[in-house]
């Protein structure tokens, strides 16, 4: 039997692979602080996001690998931590100092539940331990004050606005600054100016992820945002029917022209489960989002059911992922958020030129 020392422990841990990055955790430099005390072993696994979808699987596999390699080992203690990879770009750093990643949530058309998905993605990432901000860039129809249960106006710190925090997320919305009964009638240049101000004149502080809820369509805000701020990536929200899927292609083409990588597709209102009989009804068809993702070569991030309480929770300012009465629906969206985080980690590692990451992983497939 091999002696119990650091080198042999690391060799045993090479059998544990990250299913997203397709490399072992030692090559990926996830393993840190190996300590051996008598027959006891402890070490830390530092992941690229606290929202890792396979966090517990990696922890269990690492402990099992050490026990299998050293039958007489005593206690095996595995500490899980994270250090979110950053999308490095000089222009982004100048505008949003302290923000590691920017994620746009978009749709080719309205009415697909994009804002609901954006709010719940942000809260999900925060619940997993990430520092998260949420920018409501839907200037004409700001909905985050209602969905996030926030009232009042933001404070000022010098010349900068301070986001209002709820559910562990820092939120900024034009809805905090205008009368909710007042129609926002702005021309294109005014809209572009407002977007720039949201980026430059808000004190976001240190964030792992800034989630941006874009207005539907492919207009001035999307163009301004992409030109002003190099985005880490975009998530496209759709419903299953063919007319919506055509708009997925439109949104994808827009981001492609703007050199913004698409992290994946979320299919919302994917199916309905009757609360009385439990029967599944595919009201708007099903599977179109997955098909669109496959055709475009991007990740299919998951499908969200049509569920009354998702609407109800949004109306009362409690995102469904934070509702203890809806564990199944909360779990679905939290899984999607972790898939988004995994895609961000994959792309940032590839951008950094890591030899441990296969660039082809970015070209599609279901997030693990």
Q: Which pLDDT does position 140 carry in this prediction? A: 75
Question: Hunting for tokens 């009362």 — which residue is that?
Answer: 316
Residues written for the chain: 368
Task: Kindly tell me if the per-residue pLDDT of 365 is higher than 50.
Answer: no
- 366: pLDDT confidence band, cut at 50, 70 and 90? very low
Query: How far apart are alpha carbons 32 and 113 in whole angstroms?
Result: 41
Mean pLDDT of 122-136: 96
More confident of the two residues 271 and 1:
271
Q: Which pLDDT does position 325 carry in this prediction? A: 85
Convert the pLDDT of each residue in 298-346 to its tens digit: 999 999 998 888 888 888 999 999 988 888 889 999 999 999 999 999 8
Question: Hunting for tokens 């119990």 — which residue is that?
Answer: 4
Query: How far apart are alpha carbons 137 and 148 in whole angstroms?
Result: 15
Sign of CA dihedral 57, 127, 251, 220: negative
Q: Which pLDDT does position 175 carry in this prediction? A: 86
Which of the residue ranges 49-53, 125-129, 278-282 would you say has the lowest mean pLDDT?
278-282
Q: Which pLDDT does position 183 carry in this prediction? A: 56
Mean pLDDT of 166-171: 96
Query: How far apart are alpha carbons 112 and 92 in whole angstroms?
Result: 29
Q: Which pLDDT does position 73 carry in this prediction? A: 94
Non-local CB neighbours of 305 within 8 Å, separated by 6+ positions: 269, 270, 271, 272, 273, 329, 332
Question: Hunting for tokens 């992409």 — which residue is that?
Answer: 226
Question: Hunting for tokens 């990536």 — which residue is that?
Answer: 233
- 85: pLDDT confidence band, cut at 50, 70 and 90? confident
Q: What are the chain's domains? A: 6-82 (3.30.300.130), 90-363 (3.40.50.300)
- 89: pLDDT confidence band, cut at 50, 70 and 90? low
Task: Kindly tell me if the per-residue pLDDT of 188 is higher than 90.
Answer: no
Task: Kindly tell me if the per-residue pLDDT of 355 is higher than 60.
Answer: no
Q: What is the mean pLDDT of the chain?
A: 86
Query: How far apart are alpha carbons 255 and 323 in whole angstroms?
Result: 33
Which pair of structure tokens corresponds to residue 151?
């009232």
Looking at mean pLDDT, say which of 1-10, 33-42, 168-177, 199-208 comes out highest.
Answer: 33-42
Percentage of the chain modeled with pLDDT above 70: 89
In the 3-class helix/strand/coil scheme, how is 165-221 assigned residue by residue? Answer: EECCEEEEEHHHCCCCCCCCCCCHHHHHHHHHHHHHCECCCCECEEEEECCCCCCHH
What is the DSSP-derived secondary structure letter of residue 110? S
CA contacts within 13 A on the Cβ side of 178: 16
Sign of CA dihedral 90, 96, 102, 105: negative
Convert the pLDDT of each residue in 224-280 to its tens digit: 777 777 789 999 999 988 777 788 888 899 888 888 899 999 999 988 877 778 788
Which pair of structure tokens corresponds to residue 189?
């240049």
Give the residues across from 161 on adjacent strands.
Answer: 156, 202
Non-local CB neighbours of 165 within 8 Å, separated by 6+ positions: 171
- 361: pLDDT confidence band, cut at 50, 70 and 90? very low
Q: Distances in Å between the alpha carbon of 22 and those of 14, 27, 62, 223, 355?
A: 12, 10, 15, 34, 12
Give the residues across from 44 on adjacent strands.
Answer: 32, 79
């Amino acid at each position: 039997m091999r002696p119990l020392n650091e080198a042999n422990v690391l060799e045993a841990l090479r059998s544990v692979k990250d299913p997203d990055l397709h490399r072992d955790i030692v090559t990926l430099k996830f393993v840190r602080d190996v300590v051996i005390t008598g027959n006891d072993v402890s070490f830390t696994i530092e992941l690229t996001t606290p929202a890792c979808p396979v966090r517990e699987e990696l922890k269990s596999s690492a402990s099992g690998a050490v026990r299998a390699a050293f039958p007489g080992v005593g206690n095996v203690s595995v500490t899980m931590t994270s250090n979110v990879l950053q999308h490095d770009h000089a222009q982004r750093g100048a505008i949003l100092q302290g923000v590691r990643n920017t994620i746009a949530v978009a749709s080719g058309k309205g009415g697909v539940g994009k804002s609901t998905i954006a709010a719940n993605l942000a809260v999900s990432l925060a619940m997993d331990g990430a520092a998260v901000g949420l920018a409501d860039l839907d200037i004409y129809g700001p909905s985050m004050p209602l969905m996030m249960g926030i009232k009042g106006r933001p404070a000022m710190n010098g010349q900068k606005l301070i986001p209002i925090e709820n559910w562990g997320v820092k939120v900024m919305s034009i809805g905090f600054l205008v009368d909710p009964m007042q129609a926002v009638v702005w021309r294109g240049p005014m809209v572009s100016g407002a977007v720039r101000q949201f980026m430059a004149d808000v004190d976001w502080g240190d964030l792992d992820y800034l989630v941006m809820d874009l207005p539907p369509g492919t207009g001035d805000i999307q163009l301004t945002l992409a030109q002003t701020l190099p985005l880490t990536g975009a998530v496209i929200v759709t419903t299953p029917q063919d007319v919506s899927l055509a708009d997925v292609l439109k949104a994808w083409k827009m981001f492609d022209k703007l050199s913004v990588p698409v992290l994946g597709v979320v299919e919302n209102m994917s199916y309905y489960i009757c609360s009385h009989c439990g029967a599944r009804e595919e009201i708007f068809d099903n599977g179109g989002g997955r098909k669109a993702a496959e055709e475009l070569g991007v990740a299919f991030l998951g499908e969200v059911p049509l569920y009354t309480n998702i609407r109800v929770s949004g109306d009362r300012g409690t995102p469904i992922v934070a509702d203890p009465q809806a564990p199944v629906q909360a779990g679905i969206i939290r899984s999607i958020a972790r898939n988004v985080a995994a895609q961000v980690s994959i792309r940032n590692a590839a951008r950094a030129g890591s030899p441990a990451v296969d660039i082809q992983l970015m070209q599609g497939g279901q997030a693990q």
